[in-house]
Chain A
């Protein structure tokens, strides 16, 4: 028993928590943003996959790591535009269109990756983001060394939380987004264009999702392989409900989830011989479902989520 508790005292666990949480923070914030404007974006899993691929390919082609992140964000924005174009002015089912985007984006990612990199024995690698290791940061007790062991995209994800919380809560743009997600007719009466607001928000949110994928290839691993996103997009959709559509709670949810994931990995090392390893790997998905069950009834869903808005129609 004490072995299982000692794990919590190890710095390695908490470093891993931040690392595992990073793609989920990007993904959850991206999905949260879309849903706040009233659009469910189930394209997330594919957009993350495409982001991971294009970021890797850009850097593999000789570009700077930051250019890789930008390329991912740009492609995410394009898929977001496609999703928004089909669901907002055309009012197609957000569920079905989103799944279509996921299938298109992930298969397109595999296809383009295979075109660029023919099959080889071992997948080629890139020089990935390194931990920042700033001395001044390491000097801060407890938290400092944990943060210094992270790569730059993690800081970007952490910075996005207060930024998004501020924009949503305290700016006219945030008000426009929230009104569009709650009641587009009332928003229109206030001089807000719900269609433009939804399109813009989905484009921005999808760019964030792609950054979550890019983190996987530019920071966590240094190569791209199919199915590397492993349901992180769907987990992010679950975390949005857990977060009750609030950015700070999204951070909390992603960290809790990552803590659980990092802990089960270590538990697996301890108990791996007695219990099938698959049981440990199942836990993150089961935990997501459990979190949904606990939070779903208490959560206040944006009222106009998944409702297409058509001018003059009620």
Chain B
């Protein structure tokens, strides 16, 4: 068996491949649902209803998609330049802590229109700073950033735990480990009455469009892609590879940090160690499902969020463990990788 590069890539195939991949992933997940003894069609019906079947379901799905858009973008811009940022989870949490550090008091009495951007930028800056360290280590000491960013996730989560049991502890939380909340002026307005959906979704979509523009239409975007494609050629063409990698790190970490700040400002109001049920790791899947396209990330994030929210509601109703959501999305990632490969290569005997 060998792979042969296709001379032409058909548009039809490029469009259908992701759909076929997701269909295969859903069929495999169906097999696992059958293991639990539940009716598979009924389970899928409940997932769809749980994700999109009511006003509340739709707003929950979009609320869940919001942080996934940010972490998906963070991973997509990094992977484009072959910066293997697996630390979005840690960057998200550090961004959330920074948001609380800045937004818990408002000593200058800033109005929301000023305070919200300041708090968001604080979160982005913290996330960016966290990714700059491993990328600098890679440039200076040739340390693989995959392992360092992964290990930093554990360090940051312990740091969050230390902060919410120490300096940031909320004395009014009845001993429950949570940070103090941000002030009202630092919260994002809601979008739909009686739902958790907040203005962070609009921000996420706008940021996705901006990132799309930056990556495809600016010199920085070109340099980032060139560096990812072939660093030696990029260097030959006069691109400063080290500086480009650091800029990519700042952008990627900043987007993940923003995810944490927006989660605090839009949903929770404070930080706990379960602020993120793995949004950083799911961001990797979202970015891959979108084939690293920033605008595609929005669709992939909504798809993943729908699976999570729908499976949660299905699990409550049918005694199928809701972990099936993570399994389905992981399967979708793997089938998508193969499907995308087959759009550029064909298998020959």
Contact = CB atoms under 8 A, between A and B. Distances in A.
A91 B144 CA distance: 20
Interface in A67-111: 82, 86, 89-93, 95-97, 99-101, 103-104, 106-108, 110-111
Nearest to A306: B144
Contacts of B338: 86, 90, 92
B330 A107 contact: yes
B32 interface: yes
B148 A292 contact: yes
A235 B153 CA distance: 12
Interface stretch (B215-223, B256-264, B318-326): B318-326
A285 B341 contact: no
B38 to A, nearest CB: 10
A266 interface: no
A81 to B, nearest CB: 13
A238 interface: yes
Interface string A275-288: 01011011001101
A111 B144 contact: no
B137 interface: yes
Give the interface SS of chain A, mostly helix, strand, loop or mixed. Answer: helix
Interface residues of A, number: 47
Interface of B is mostly: helix
A104 B331 contact: yes
A97 B146 CA distance: 13
A114 B325 CA distance: 13
A115 B150 CA distance: 29
A100 B341 contact: no
Interface string A218-238: 000000000000110011011
A202 interface: no
Contact of A99 (B1, B32, B284): B284
A293 B324 CA distance: 38
Interface in B118-164: 137, 141-144, 146-148, 150-152, 154-155, 158-159, 161-162
A288 B144 CA distance: 12
A235 B154 CA distance: 11
B263 to A, nearest CB: 21
Contacts of B161: 278
Contacts of B1: 89
Given A100-B334, A296-B141, A107 B162 contact: no
A45 B49 CA distance: 34
Interface of B: 1-3, 32, 35-36, 79, 84, 86, 137, 141-144, 146-148, 150-152, 154-155, 158-159, 161-162, 165-166, 281, 284-285, 288, 321, 323-324, 326-327, 329-331, 333-334, 337-338, 341
Among all A-B residue pairs, the 4 with the closest Cβ atoms: A107-B326, A114-B321, A104-B330, A111-B323
Interface of A: 42, 82, 86, 89-93, 95-97, 99-101, 103-104, 106-108, 110-112, 114-115, 230-231, 234-235, 237-238, 241, 276, 278-279, 281-282, 285-286, 288-289, 292-293, 296-297, 310-312
